């Protein structure tokens, strides 16, 4: 994957259509989840508000119906890290704030090890996947300004 390039060209961002939540219990965070889909990030007009994990964390994105997803793009801040996204059919966030996968099926995974800062990071699946739940994880601190879930242009 090339950092900063729009590899998922021709795609539509469906992140604003998802129910987005941070897992609860173990992962503390700062900021508002809604800022992740407001279209504001450094270098794009007014500076967007960051969403910050001092330690590891997971964000979940749930859709009412299956979406054909090509991957995710993240605008990360000054705390570059390793990011992983897993696409599911049938997973959900349970009442304790954790992803429940006992009846789910993993349909795609993508990892980015580039450790870039203040730039777009792309996590592209090997091919488009039909998913109704995505989980974005980082095992270290992270600063996110924007997240895009991109549909396949196929």
pLDDT in tens, the chain (154 residues): 333 334 455 678 777 677 777 766 667 888 998 889 888 999 887 778 899 988 888 889 999 999 999 999 999 999 889 999 999 999 998 888 788 999 999 999 999 999 999 999 999 999 999 999 999 999 888 999 999 999 876 6
Ramachandran angles phi, psi of 34, nearest 5°: -60, -25
- Specify if 28 maps to a domain: yes
Classify residue 135: in a domain, yes or no. yes
Count of structural domains within the chain:
1
Does 31 fall in a domain?
yes
Could you identify the residue written with the tokens 């390039």? 5
- Residue 120: strand pairing partners: 75
Domain extent for 133 = 15-151
Give the domain CATH number at 106: 2.60.120.260
CA 47 to chain centre: 20
Predicted TM-score of the model (pTM): 0.86
Question: Is 38 within a domain?
Answer: yes
């Amino acid at each position: 994957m090339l950092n900063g390039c729009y590899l998922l060209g021709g795609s539509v961002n469906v992140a604003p259509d998802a129910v987005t939540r941070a897992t609860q219990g173990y992962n503390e965070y700062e900021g508002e989840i809604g800022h992740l889909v407001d279209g504001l990030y450094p270098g794009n007009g007014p500076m967007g508000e960051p969403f910050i994990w001092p330690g590891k964390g997971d964000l979940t994105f749930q859709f009412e119906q299956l979406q054909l997803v090509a991957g995710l793009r993240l605008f990360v801040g000054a705390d570059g890290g390793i990011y992983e996204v897993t696409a599911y059919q049938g997973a959900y966030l349970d009442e304790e704030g954790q992803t429940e996968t006992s009846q789910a099926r993993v349909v795609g995974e993508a990892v980015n090890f580039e450790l870039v800062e203040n730039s777009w990071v792309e996590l592209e699946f090997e091919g488009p996947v039909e998913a109704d739940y995505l989980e974005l994880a980082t095992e270290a601190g992270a600063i996110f300004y924007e997240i895009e879930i991109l549909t396949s242009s196929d």
